Chain A
């Protein structure tokens, strides 16, 4: 599959949040305003890209030679959690500006199921290293897209008269569901039409 195909697939067709329903905590928790949504989006994209690379390496260069592929979920969680910690330390040391922008979101991502999800998807789809890298990056972009769309909706919703029982999280989930419904319009047929 071409890299453009992977990009379109993970941003629109198999959007992590809106069609695979992974990583819903930040989708609800950090989508209150545009600033934090984009900050979280960038942080997730960053981590997903690196995590895709590293988990691919761990799977193909450590798990397969040792014949323990069945431990992939456990090892990926360990890998991603320590990776995020490491990245946080490195960024804090060498790029305080980047740390100020992403720092507070990084610890939130250590156990994000979206990151683990894309790592496992890479393995299941049998991607090579570069395809995995692209898939991680695109999934991050798709995550950011969903988060930013959601945050604009929620900002608008603050001034709407929402029935009391639906205020806050419930109405956010309902709007998220409607958005997911809209994203169902992107399917494999779109991809074949676009790039044949």
Chain B
């Protein structure tokens, strides 16, 4: 008789589960709502990282807004880059510009614990924005990387890490160019540069040359040697700070020479 009870139990579970399954299948027929095909296609075209850099809650939110026509800007997805831009253009029947080189974030500072002088020893909340509230940071240079890692916390792909000597570094291969770190960085030292750039100016100091030199041994003093002696290198000095015009490509040789001539060595090869 025991075997009958076991069989009954198996039979009951099968029938009960089957009935529920059938019920759900019927209910699905009855209650299912047609998902907009365009929305689905757009979601597939987007990278699905849900990083939020487009300003919507996630990729699906952006897809819905695009499909509904409340948003017409296709370029808001930074991680997707060119491939997803083209795919979305195809779905929506919009011509897209074949532009947009991949950008990556990079902290423009070499002033680590040894090279940059400090105003005071900071022992507060381990967050760059909190440190910035106290006399514009604990470094004498108020433009440099504070290295407390506010950017690390907002990076959706963990591309940023501490170097261990008071700075942060970005793994360019992991970077999806969402720009979250640029937005959160209180000193503005985190900037986007093209992925294929060979050189960058590793300083963000807009102080006068003399002050910069007093604050940090690797700061750009705005001496304009690079700008004047190497016009081919597309260096521009503004506000006592050199910047590279990345639109001018393939200037590696000139830039290499300029890097050697830079008195503070802040033209750095990537």
Kindly list chain A residues whose C-beta atoms are within 8 Å of the C-beta of B101: none
Tell me the chain B residues, 17-65 only, with Cβ under 8 Å from chain A: 17, 20-21, 23-24, 27-28, 31-33
In Å, the complex CA distance between A85 and B25 comes to: 10
Kindly list chain A residues whose C-beta atoms are within 8 Å of the C-beta of B12: 66, 68, 71
Given A66-B12, A68-B8, A71-B13: A78 touches B20 (CB 8 Å cut-off): yes
Q: Does B1 sit at the interface, judged by CB under 8 A?
A: no
A93 touches B9 (CB 8 A): no
* Chain B residue with Cβ nearest A67: B8
B23 touches A82 (CB 8 A): yes
B17 touches A78 (CB 8 A): yes
Q: Does A159 sit at the interface, judged by CB under 8 A?
A: yes
Tell me the chain A residues, 82-113 only, with Cβ under 8 Å from chain B: 82, 85-86, 89-90, 92-93
Kindly list chain A residues whose C-beta atoms are within 8 Å of the C-beta of B16: 62, 75, 78
Kindly list chain B residues whose C-beta atoms are within 8 Å of the C-beta of A89: 27-28, 31-32
In Å, the complex CA distance between A68 and B24 comes to: 23
Chain A residues touching B, majority SS: helix
In the assembled complex, how far is the CB of residue B70 from the closest CB belonging to chain A, in whole angstroms?
Answer: 16
Q: Does A70 sit at the interface, judged by CB under 8 A?
A: yes
B13 touches A74 (CB 8 A): yes
How many chain A residues touch B (Cβ–Cβ < 8 Å)? 18
Q: Does A79 sit at the interface, judged by CB under 8 A?
A: yes
Kindly list chain B residues whose C-beta atoms are within 8 Å of the C-beta of A79: 20
A159 touches B125 (CB 8 A): yes
Q: What size tier do the contact residues of chain B reach?
A: 10 to 19
Instruction: Name which of B13, B20, B32 has the most chain A CB atoms within 10 A of its CB.
Output: B20
In Å, the complex CA distance between A71 and B31 comes to: 30
Kindly list chain B residues whose C-beta atoms are within 8 Å of the C-beta of A70: 9
In Å, the complex CA distance between A86 and B12 comes to: 21
In the assembled complex, how far is the CB of residue B53 from the closest CB belonging to chain A, in whole angstroms?
Answer: 20
Partner of B24, one of A66, A85, A159, A161: A85
In the assembled complex, how far is the CB of residue B101 from the closest CB belonging to chain A, in whole angstroms?
Answer: 36
0/1 interface trace, chain B 183-211, chain A, CB 8 Å (1 if under):
00000000000000000000000000000
Partner of B9, one of A62, A68, A92: A68
A82 touches B31 (CB 8 A): no
Partner of B13, one of A75, A159, A161: A75
Kindly list chain B residues whose C-beta atoms are within 8 Å of the C-beta of A62: 16
Partner of A71, one of B9, B21, B27: B9
* Chain B residue with Cβ nearest A74: B13
Kindly list chain A residues whose C-beta atoms are within 8 Å of the C-beta of B23: 82, 86
Kindly list chain B residues whose C-beta atoms are within 8 Å of the C-beta of A85: 24
B125 touches A92 (CB 8 A): no
* Chain B residue with Cβ nearest A92: B33
In Å, the complex CA distance between A90 and B24 comes to: 11
In Å, the complex CA distance between A74 and B24 comes to: 18
* Chain A residue with Cβ nearest B124: A161
0/1 interface trace, chain A 105-129, chain B, CB 8 Å (1 if under):
0000000000000000000000000
Kindly list chain A residues whose C-beta atoms are within 8 Å of the C-beta of B27: 86, 89-90
Instruction: Name which of B16, B23, B28 has the most chain A CB atoms within 10 A of its CB.
Output: B16
In Å, the complex CA distance between A71 and B9 comes to: 7
0/1 interface trace, chain A 17-54, chain B, CB 8 Å (1 if under):
00000000000000000000000000000000000000
Kindly list chain B residues whose C-beta atoms are within 8 Å of the C-beta of A86: 23-24, 27
In the assembled complex, how far is the CB of residue B266 from the closest CB belonging to chain A, in whole angstroms?
Answer: 34
In the assembled complex, how far is the CB of residue B167 from the closest CB belonging to chain A, in whole angstroms?
Answer: 20
Tell me the chain B residues, 102-161 only, with Cβ under 8 Å from chain A: 125-126
In the assembled complex, how far is the CB of residue B80 from the closest CB belonging to chain A, in whole angstroms?
Answer: 23
Task: Enumerate the 3 nearest inter-chain pairs by beta-carbon distance, A residue then B residue, closest first.
Answer: A89-B31, A82-B20, A93-B31
Q: What are 21 A-B residue pairs whose CB atoms fall within 8 Å in the complex?
A: A66-B12, A68-B8, A68-B12, A74-B13, A75-B13, A75-B16, A79-B20, A82-B21, A82-B24, A85-B24, A86-B23, A86-B27, A89-B28, A89-B31, A89-B32, A92-B31, A92-B33, A93-B31, A159-B125, A161-B125, A161-B126
Binding site for A on B (CB under 8 A): 8-9, 12-13, 16-17, 20-21, 23-24, 27-28, 31-33, 125-126
Kindly list 9 other residue pairs between chains A and B, CB separation below 8 angstroms, not including A74-B13, A93-B32.
Answer: A62-B16, A68-B8, A71-B9, A85-B24, A86-B23, A86-B24, A86-B27, A90-B31, A161-B126
